[in-house]
Chain A
Amino acid sequence: MNPRRTATGGRVNRQRPVRFTFDGTAYTGHAGDTLASALLANGVVLAGRSFKYHRPRGLLSAGLDEPNALVTVMRGKVREPNVPATMIEIHDGLTVESQNRFPSLAFDIGAVNQLAGKLISAGFYYKTFMGPAIGPLKGTRFWMLCEHVIRRAAGLGRAGEAPDTSRYERMNAFCDVLVVGSGPAGLMAASAAAEHGANVILAEADAHAGGSANWSGETIDGMLAADWAADMAAGLRERPNVRLLRRTAVWGCYDGNTLVAVERVSDHKAKAGPGEPRHRHWVIRARSVVLATGAFERPLVFPGNDRPSVMLASAAERYANEFGVLPAETFIVFTNNDSAYLSTISLKKAGANIAAIVDVRQDVGEAMRILASEAGAELLAGHAVVATEGGKALRGVKVQRFNMTSGTVSGEARSLSADGLLMSGGWSPAIHLASQAGAKAEWDNGLQAFLPPAPARNSRWLGAGAFTGNFSTGGALAEGHAAGLAACGAEPGETSLPTAETTLGSPEPAPVFEIKAPGKAFVDFQHDVTVDDVRLAHREGFVSVEHLKRYTTLGMATDQGKTSNVAGLAIMAEARGLPIPDVGTTRFRPPFSPVSLGAFAAERYGDLRPERLTPMHDWHVEHGATMQPAGLWFRPQIYGLAGETIEQAYVREAAATREAAGIVDVSTLGKIAVQGPDAAEFLDRVYTNMFSFLPVGKARYGLMLREDGLAFDDGTTWRLGDNDFLMTTTTANAGKVMQHLEYFLDVIWPELKVSLVSVTDQWAGAAIGGPSARDILAACVRKTGVDNKALPFMGIVHGTIADVPVMICRLSFSGEMAFEVYSPADYGTHVWEALMEAGRPFGLVPYGMEALGAMRIEKGHVTGAEIDGRTTARDLHLDWMLSKKKPFIGSAMMDREGLIASGRIQLVGLLSLDGRPLGGGAHIVEAVDQENPHGSIGHITAACYSPALGKYIALALVEGGKARHGSRAFISDPLRNRYGPVEIVSHHFFDPEGSRMHG
């Protein structure tokens, strides 16, 4: 039995012990415990060290608002830092480490920072490390010197280096009504909407539905509230139209009622099931949303309010009622409102001693006085706690008389002993999601809290329960029911609601946030922001809430100021002499609670991209190809032989092609079926040259410009029938060209009867070229001739290869006599193998992208490296393709002054004069200056060793271009430290007359 476990009570399973390890020590808890409740049950109150001052800290809360007890969960070598102990369900084998301490939690060297407190107050970093270096211990350079020391000393948990092996997943969901929060209000809302036939998703951040019902100790419909909630949840689960998501924190609210949540699917299990994700990222598109997110209790700000065992009153109540754990033996309660009295009674019932209730209010209502005496507590009305005593655990507190009107303490300080101090500074509704949705919070002076506004006319969210500032359970039940009906458009009807006991006391706290007394009083526990820091920000002029936040880091930590925002504002408001609403509040942004990065990545694991494979992919791999990504595609780079370098391989492949024949997979070229009665007219408009005159059975090379007159893409288009064209695009631009064409067809020329369908994947393409290419085809093609008469340059024939129907077009990228053979994709490998077989006697070799690149450079053909979005048709010597007979896309803009200016960069060839390789991207200069590289006149777009010329060559875009032919220049490539002379020549390096391909 755990030392702090109550004899009975709580929702944990006392029959099931669970063993876990905290900082190397083995502990036992029960199934149903959180790490927080299990540690408290074992009497462990020291849970962490604070962010900046390394002060010992214990649990402040029992839920996701926890700022102090952040721990690192170890999963093998994978570290998950900064998880609140309150949100970890223990399981056998759970291993957890505390954070931000060295060498141990109990003895932490970093605690010396407390002595330097004055030096590292708000603005420390800005003042010390920003700006010019004046003296040795100032400025940005000093920061670089100190950074790694400071990063170690100040901060949260340490991220691990081991790769996260867990699985994460994304899930899309649609519903009529999303209910966020499953307390009494949320359960009622979900049930009302579900009964009305709506599809409902009910999301609960905790492990069990019920919210406050799980720990309030109240009765609903004559049952313990927790049992009522369990029954309600069970009933909802049985409904086919309800999805109850437990352990699911809704953290974001985006446009169009798209809400996002993260479900902790298997964190509570020793081992995830096969295929089971650790976290699931839910994207929920809801017609309407009911926010039943409850409220957070606020701490009070007073010296020593951060000592371990100083806790929110509701948290202690929750530990007692939900987990059967008393965080201390004897409590003192410090409050500005009535709700703490109810918590006190719960603790008394669970077996705790209540030494005193310290209430800042002089006038405490009769009902509360009775509760105090029932609890056996001395009531110190008109008093305040001014200090806490003890070291790493609380021993007692000091109290003084407190005057609410003047906000001052007076009189003799009295010491009271206790090992637990509970505080309650009122409640703040959890309005974060509404704020994300654009709702402007409204200050309620009675409740001393920011409330959500009444939903706007077109708002698709509704609120219920404590979220709206209605803190009574009866109110929550009624509001939840009404919101559930309203959310699905149902009229409120005659329904008998469950009965809840009347909540005693007033929900309105005294407007007291801070007790001014000497000592460090914390506003933001997680970021160690004290009341002095807030005042310093005020004195130094950082008075707007946004400045306050950034200057002091108030509210910026992983808890996003859930417990600190309002107190921070109240203190700033007082300093400025303004009412709180005039100071305003920051707008909440996603995420409401921390989200694992894995959940964002979800199924996009590994290299994050789907592999796009050609029909012959497996053949290439089996035949020794090195595959290379090209966009999403994978293409053979080389088919290397044993011991060959990449250069040796492509030189061999290219040389063999020019000597005999080579074959390359061109299936990746974009292919678009352009069909319909207006197809030819459409092509005339989108290409710079004419296509309407192209006869059936012929292909033509085409160039497209953008609207601004710059070159866009090129490729051949084949006329297969009067109304039937097959357009090919570059591999890289296939998608862009399709969108470009669709845009013009849909938006600009809707009167044209043209259809566009991507047929890239329908066809396997093999380009076979070289002096023997025609003989190879003649040996294997049936049902058509392939001689010059049957198949002239740019001609198309239909035949068969190895019983498969093929379409063959005679065109050339390599500059050789070449043919593109297209077959239906599922037959692609069959046809490819037949071509290889037919080519064997001729010395046919398969070649990859490197050889293809080398041969196209030799021929001076352009690709995306030259059509780079900055070049015109003229720059690339393609002006012969610009028809003067018709307007086309880009024709009006292509002759603008700047686009026809002399001195523009133009395509040229380069020969390396020092016999060394040239590199793509290198600059061209007229004179080399290695010390101060400058004077670029252009750059290399592609380079290779030319087997045909026996030289290193390159294509380049150079100012003046053609005018420099025959002149000498230099490459200047400081990054690769490559400098050297080149000769500028024509880009047609090889067979400029094209005699080889025309045959």
Chain B
Amino acid sequence: MASRNTVERLSPLEPVYQPGLHGQSEHGAGVTLCEAKQGSILQLTAWPGEEKRMIAAIRSVARLAVPDGAGGGIVKNGKAAFGIAPGKFTVTAEEEGLAEAFAASLKPAIGTVTDLSHGRTIIRISGEKAEWVLAKLFAIDFSLPAFPIGAGRSTVHHDIFAQIQRTDNDSFDIHVFRSFARAFWKLLCHSSEEVGYEVQ
């Protein structure tokens, strides 16, 4: 798979990705937007009753300790994992090849791995106004007590499915389908104009 590295991946945001300060930026940017490029994005599905063994597999293969419980997650060393549904987890890593690593070690009796490294685009929003901007688009509670750091949420903005992980106090990673990424990016920029945004 070494050959992959010689070809550059083309982001769906390419033509609309404009670094710099935009919108109401008199007092600086209220949010920072960027594409969080991850080499590996995958979904793990555990059969009912096998959730704990799946969590153990994530610990051993990705070295991430996912807390048990609905939407539990963790961000560490350029990797992240979080629950998206009963028995289902999203795991990401900066390096490529994580899906193969899981495929090699995950027993069929526990569950499956599905590579989505190209199928999902991760958009990161951070800054003081991140909760405010996201609240325009999603009907979920973004406040810290309701949505702790590391946790994940599956939700939707009209036709656009999103899995959202809180990666820090005021930082969120939004996983969207690649085909919707450009439309969502434009919408997110539009929604951020009011508070000013910087594209990194």
Contact = CB atoms under 8 A, between A and B. Distances in A.
Q: Do A and B touch directly, given a CB cutoff of 8 Å in the complex?
A: yes
Interface of A: 169-174, 199, 273-277, 283, 285, 603-604, 609-615, 618, 632-633, 667, 673, 675-677, 723, 750, 753, 755, 757-763, 800, 802-805, 824-830
Contacts of B195: 275
Given A603-B136, A759-B114, A618 B14 contact: yes
A199 B9 contact: no
Contacts, number: 147
A761 to B, nearest CB: 4
B10 A826 contact: yes
B134 to A, nearest CB: 9
B117 interface: yes
Interface in B16-49: 23-24, 43, 45, 47-48
B61 interface: no
B101 interface: no
Contacts of B117: 762, 824
Given A174-B143, A723-B108, A633 B10 contact: no
A670 to B, nearest CB: 11
Contacts of A763: 118-119
21 contacts: A170-B136, A172-B140, A173-B135, A174-B143, A277-B194, A604-B158, A610-B159, A611-B182, A612-B177, A612-B183, A613-B12, A615-B12, A677-B108, A761-B177, A761-B178, A800-B3, A802-B7, A805-B4, A826-B10, A827-B118, A829-B10
Interface of B: 1, 3-4, 6-12, 14-15, 23-24, 43, 45, 47-48, 108-109, 111-112, 114-120, 135-141, 143, 146, 158-160, 177-180, 182-184, 187, 190-196
A612 B24 contact: no
B191 A610 contact: no
Contacts of B178: 615, 761-762, 825-826
A733 B4 CA distance: 33
Nearest to B30: A275
Contact of A613 (B3, B143, B182): B182
Nearest to A283: B139
Contacts of A277: 194
A827 B24 contact: no
The 4 closest A-B pairs by CB, nearest first: A275-B193, A762-B119, A826-B9, A610-B183
A757 B118 contact: no
Given A615-B12, A830-B7, A830-B10, A757 B43 contact: yes
Given A276-B194, A603-B191, A610-B187, A673 B7 contact: no
Contacts of A826: 9-11, 118, 178
A603 B159 CA distance: 13
B112 A675 contact: yes
Given A172-B140, A610-B159, 6 more contacts: A275-B24, A613-B12, A675-B112, A761-B178, A762-B116, A804-B4
Contacts of A633: 179
Contacts of B24: 273-276
A964 to B, nearest CB: 42
A489 to B, nearest CB: 16
B42 to A, nearest CB: 10
A675 B44 CA distance: 11
B109 to A, nearest CB: 8
A834 to B, nearest CB: 10
Contacts of A170: 136
Contact of A275 (B48, B177, B194): B194
B47 A753 contact: yes
A610 B1 contact: no
Nearest to B120: A761
B111 to A, nearest CB: 7
Nearest to A673: B114
A275 B192 CA distance: 8
Contact of A755 (B45, B109, B118, B187): B45
Contacts of B135: 171-173
Contacts of A612: 177, 179-180, 183
A174 B141 contact: yes
Contacts of B15: 618
Contacts of B143: 174, 199
Nearest to A782: B3
Contacts of A173: 135
Contacts of A761: 116, 118-120, 177-179
A603 B193 contact: no
B39 to A, nearest CB: 11
B90 to A, nearest CB: 11
B119 A760 contact: yes
A275 B23 contact: yes
A675 B179 contact: no
B24 to A, nearest CB: 4
Contacts of B47: 676, 753
A274 B8 CA distance: 36
Nearest to B194: A275
A171 B9 contact: no
Given A283-B139, A804-B7, A825 B118 contact: yes
A828 B119 CA distance: 12
Contacts of A825: 12, 118-119, 178
A603 B137 contact: yes
B179 A614 contact: yes
Nearest to A675: B112
A623 to B, nearest CB: 15
A609 B183 CA distance: 9
A603 B137 CA distance: 8
A762 B3 CA distance: 19
A826 B137 CA distance: 26
B31 to A, nearest CB: 12
A800 B187 CA distance: 36
Residue in A275, A613, A757 whose Cβ sees the most chain B Cβ within 10 Å: A275
Nearest to B121: A761
Nearest to A631: B159
A632 B177 contact: no
Nearest to A721: B103
A171 B136 CA distance: 4
A859 B24 CA distance: 57
B160 A762 contact: no
Contacts of A618: 14-15
Given A172-B138, A172-B139, A603-B190, A759 B119 contact: yes
Contact of B108 (A172, A676, A827): A676
B136 A172 contact: yes
B118 to A, nearest CB: 4
A675 B10 contact: no
A804 B187 CA distance: 32
Contacts of A615: 10, 12, 178
A824 B180 CA distance: 16
A824 B136 contact: no
A823 to B, nearest CB: 9
Contacts of A802: 7
A285 B143 CA distance: 13
Contacts of B196: 275
B77 to A, nearest CB: 23
B159 A632 contact: yes
Contacts of A283: 139
B3 A757 contact: no
A758 B179 CA distance: 12
A676 B43 CA distance: 14
A385 B16 CA distance: 70
A169 B135 CA distance: 11
A174 B192 CA distance: 20
Contacts of A829: 10
B148 to A, nearest CB: 15
A618 B12 CA distance: 9
Contacts of B136: 169-172, 603
A701 B111 CA distance: 27
A618 B17 CA distance: 14
A762 B177 CA distance: 9
Contacts of A677: 108-109
A613 B182 CA distance: 8
